[in-house]
Structure 1
């Protein structure tokens, strides 16, 4: 499917292409969204930082959780209180933001492109409050500019890190088939799938192999494989099972907790299939399937959010879009953990060389976002 969100995010590319690459570092129900970050101590600065989650919630072991950890860590370091509002569905976005406006928040960070419209509306209505949004250009009118002068976009060129993961997956595969699927067809989802596919293709070119990638073809996006949402449910498990049945022995699910459904499908199958995480190092955040994790494609959401909060506290907050990439350590891949002895002994050296080539521009990756 094609979505208006895809058009909206792509519409922000002119803004992103012209923006300086500035390295910035990178819950509870609405009726009771407080999180005390400095119990028993006086506030060191005059700041109330706040956050609204996407529908995955702050315990998704991935995207939202990383953002929330960045908020709470920054609040603790500053000696201030943080407030949060957890969304259960898209109808919660605007009310949750409004609840934090009413609570007197000085900075409101929204997590995910689904909150873009509500964030822009609130920012325009409250010009004295700073806003930031993760994974969105805040350009709903498609003019190549941020829609309000008090919003900072936080974006990540995960195609670069996913390229490394795709190369590693192709190298590891014993069946010659690897697969990927997304929660929904949004650019910030398919950017992982773009990089993953192109990384496998690069492996084939370098090694004279023919590892197939199921679930995504950048040249035929309408044929992409999606579970239809960002929940760990039977649909996501069924999609993963389809890849397993098609002989894929490495799978990259992209969409918050849907990797948990893939892990369950792999365990139920009894087959030797490796699993990749997205956003967070799922080996650390969700060890239930730790024996399955080859690696994870990482976004530096936590440090990016932490830095935005601290910049608001010190009066250095600005709305220049942050774009995390390999050069500024805004994206990367996790260690191989339990697979360290299972991957090719020369793989890490090859990935180090590829990383340098991506940073230098010798290797180019096609995706909606180019840093």
Structure 2
């Protein structure tokens, strides 16, 4: 069983996990017969967070998912970018006013605005990526017409952390995030657990900088700016030679700092396979920690368009292939000959429950 590649369809997103992604509850709209029949009466919409749809990360994956779904359904999607947090509520209001049947919001930062909009518009279906829509923390989704799509990325980050510990020559690896939200720190936590497990199994002493299991280094936002570059530089100055930036475009600042350092430092991507989505950093990428955001979005939009919207939360795991790690690509010849086999075994052990990876989604 391989965990270094994500299957093209990620079909597990539709059939496994905490809930089945495609179960019906909405009434079926009229469909086109594909031969000039009546067009499908369905308008899917999406609003990004401040990272924008060209972030090479989770906003872009969401955009790709809704675009593919709209093409398959034979409809046109409305997509709106947010420039800042103050845009979230107005953008949602605009989509409601345009008659959207389904609104996908991309990112935990939109949680409050999504819940408010969903409560005010119970006849509209909502999907939120990377958030449980549980702002009162009572363990349930705050509005019955919201479907959360979540990813237990700690499992995949565990494998990436193990790989980083095996690859490092300075015995020091680092991570930093945009803001200390659960959907950010879950990567950092899994990464640290993977390094710690490597140390236990191998009798090594690889150090993780930037996350202690509770708190760590954060830029205060998700922009590729000088603050993010300085945070990355602070880790590089401490002899880190594998770096995991978690927070959309902040990886671009980390890449700039790595190039300025003038020594061999590998980077680990998040959400998407950065070697594919941003070839300009391919030479820096050890691997990437993957979320099936594009497939999860596609499946949810198609289901809603076919009258089968199901608000039950979905959680992506290694078992259902909702999360995973990318190939080593340019680093394949540089990692140890035994690493791939070890990662395969670790992935199988996590799925079997023989290795526990802790996260807020596994509690």
For residue 149 of structure 1, give the secondary structure of its aligned residue in structure 2.
coil
Q: Whole-Å Cα distance in 1 between the matches of residues 226 and 20 of structure 2?
A: 39
Q: Which runs of 4+ in 1 moved over 2 A?
A: 22-25, 41-45
Calculate the TM-score normalised by the size of structure 2: 0.90
Deviations 1:47-92 (A, max 9, x none): 1100000000111010100001100011011111100110000100
Match of 2:18 in 1: 21
Q: Whole-Å Cα distance in 1 between the matches of residues 92 and 46 of structure 2?
A: 8
Match of 1:229 in 2: 221
1:366 to 2:361 alignment? no
Deviations 1:320-351 (A, max 9, x none): 10000000000000000000000001101000
Deviations 1:108-163 (A, max 9, x none): 00011111111111111111100010111111122211111100001000000000
1:291-306 matches, within 5 Å, as: 291-306=283-298
By how many angstroms is 1:24 displaced?
3.2
Match of 2:54 in 1: 59
Higher RCO structure (Cα 8 Å, ≥6 apart) = 2
1:73 to 2:68 alignment? yes
Name stretches of at least 5 consecutive residues in structure 2 with no aligned partner.
Answer: 1-15, 23-35
Q: Indicate how the Cα distance of structure 1 residues 255 and 20 shifts in structure 2: closer, same or farther if over 3 A, else same.
A: closer
1:148 to 2:143 alignment? yes
Match of 1:258 in 2: 250
1:268 to 2:265 alignment? no
Q: Whole-Å Cα distance in 1 between the matches of residues 354 and 253 of structure 2?
A: 37
Match of 1:174 in 2: 169
Match of 1:138 in 2: 133
Are 1:71 and 1:306, in contact at CA under 8 Å, matched by a contact in 2? yes
Partner of residue 322 from structure 2, selected from 323, 330, 354: 330
Match of 1:100 in 2: 95
Match of 1:30 in 2: none
Q: Whole-Å Cα distance in 1 between the matches of residues 205 and 20 of structure 2?
A: 38
Match of 2:114 in 1: 119
1:281-300 matches, within 5 Å, as: 281-300=273-292
Aligned-residue CA RMSD (Å): 1.4
Partner of residue 244 from structure 1, selected from 202, 212, 236: 236
Are 2:43 and 2:100, in contact at CA under 8 Å, matched by a contact in 1? yes
Are 2:40 and 2:75, in contact at CA under 8 Å, matched by a contact in 1? yes
Are 1:55 and 1:86, in contact at CA under 8 Å, matched by a contact in 2? yes
Calculate the TM-score normalised by the size of structure 1: 0.88
By how many angstroms is 1:23 displaced?
4.9
Match of 1:217 in 2: 212
Match of 2:348 in 1: 356
1:90 to 2:94 alignment? no
Are 1:44 and 1:78, in contact at CA under 8 Å, matched by a contact in 2? no
What is the aligned residue count?
335
By how many angstroms is 1:367 displaced?
1.7
Are 1:166 and 1:199, in contact at CA under 8 Å, matched by a contact in 2? yes
Name stretches of at least 5 consecutive residues in structure 1 with no aligned partner.
Answer: 1-18, 26-40
Partner of residue 313 from structure 2, selected from 302, 321, 342: 321
Q: Whole-Å Cα distance in 2 between the matches of residues 100 and 187 of structure 1?
A: 28
Q: Indicate how the Cα distance of structure 1 residues 42 and 211 shifts in structure 2: closer, same or farther if over 3 A, else same.
A: farther
By how many angstroms is 1:206 displaced?
1.0
By how many angstroms is 1:22 displaced?
2.7
Q: Whole-Å Cα distance in 1 between the matches of residues 124 and 57 of structure 2?
A: 27
Q: Whole-Å Cα distance in 2 between the matches of residues 360 and 45 of structure 1?
A: 43
Deviations 1:139-193 (A, max 9, x none): 1122211111100001000000000000000000000000000000101000000
Deviations 1:197-232 (A, max 9, x none): 0000111111111100000011xx24x011111001
Deviations 1:288-312 (A, max 9, x none): 1111100000010000000000000
